[in-house]
Every structure is written in structure tokens, then in C-alpha cells.
Structure 1
């Protein structure tokens, strides 16, 4: 008779993948610690990496993009501040 198939929750799968990715432990070691088949864990890790790369950018690329965006926003903020100051001066002159 065939062995009954185990069902793992999404939380368990995500936790197992996080252990592999965040600690850097090898898949076989983590699989043995968790009591699951290493090919199962390897497929979960592979699927998670593909899903993560589906976003289109790594952490380094995201950091570079956010830094450039921050620089642009600071520039825009400074320009708007100068425009506001000019308008304040114009109002003072107009009221007089």
C-alpha cells in the first residue's frame, strides 16, 4: 500500500525557505533538521527564488533605485522651497 502523502502549510514552507536563505545553511542539512525530503525543500527554495526574481530587481538594484529616487525628491523639495520663498516675497511686495 502506498504511503500517505504529507501536506505542509504555506507558513511551514515559507519558514523552511527562510531558514535556507537567511542562515545560508545547505538544503540537505535544513531538510534533515526539519524531517522533510531534501528535494522537496530544494524545490521550495527554487520556486521562492524564481518568484523573488520575478519582481525584476535584486536588493542591490532596489537600493540603487531608491537612492536615486531619494536624491531626485530632495532636489525637487529644495526647488519647491525656493519657489515658495519667492512667492512669499512677491506677496509681501504686493500687499505693500
Structure 2
């Protein structure tokens, strides 16, 4: 059932909504639309219209040595995986430092 009243949004609002979706590779239509108070289908239509006007997918990322040959969403996923692997290594190093510190201080206390 459709509403007899259709909400109108200014072009600036639409552009900001599309930019919010396209700038975050992990964003979904539903999550961005919910934050903005519009339907996911409306946002999807705005993004589709924007991509049609641009002539190419704004999420395209040029291939690098790590994601050679990947385009579009695959390149975004490859970049995210690279970033997460680096973060995991950092967290593992921090964990190991804390383990060594805990062992050191546990051995020092002789109450």
C-alpha cells in the first residue's frame, strides 16, 4: 500500500546520503537509511541514480600488488582484509607483552 503523500528530499540531502553510503565500504543500504530516516529502497535508488550519472562504480579501487586484478567490491574486501590482518598482528604483539608482564609481576609477589 503506497502513501498518498510522497516525501521530497533536497538534492543536498540525497548527495550526503549517497556519500555516506559510498564512503564506508562496510555500510549497507539498511544501516545508512535507518540513520537518515529514509527507506533502504529509497537510498538504493539514489545510489543507483548517482552511479548512472557518474558512469562508473565509485567503489572501484585501482589494483595494487595485493589485490591485482580485483575490481569493485572484491578490491574493497581485499583492502579490508589487509587492514584487519595488520591490526590482528598488532593486537597479538600487545597480548604477548601483557602475558610476559603478568608472569613477571606474578613471580615478584611473595606474600
Q: Hey, what does 1:42 align to over in structure 2?
A: 44
Instruction: Give the Cα separation in 1 of the matches to 2:36 and 2:47.
Output: 14
Which has the higher relative contact order, 1 or 2, with Cα contacts under 8 A spaced 6 or more apart? 1
- Normalised TM-score (structure 1): 0.52
Q: What's the offset of the Cα at 1:59?
A: 7.5
Aligned length: 56
**Structure 1, unaligned stretches of length 5 or more?**
61-96
Instruction: Give the Cα separation in 2 of the matches to 1:21 and 1:29.
Output: 12
- Larger Rg: 1 or 2? 1
Instruction: Give the Cα separation in 1 of the matches to 2:12 and 2:22.
Output: 15
Over the residues paired in the alignment, what is the CA RMSD in angstroms? 1.8
Q: Which secondary structure does the structure 2 equivalent of 1:8 belong to?
A: coil
Once superposed, which parts of structure 1, at least 4 consecutive aligned residues long, lie more than 2 Å away?
none
- Normalised TM-score (structure 2): 0.45
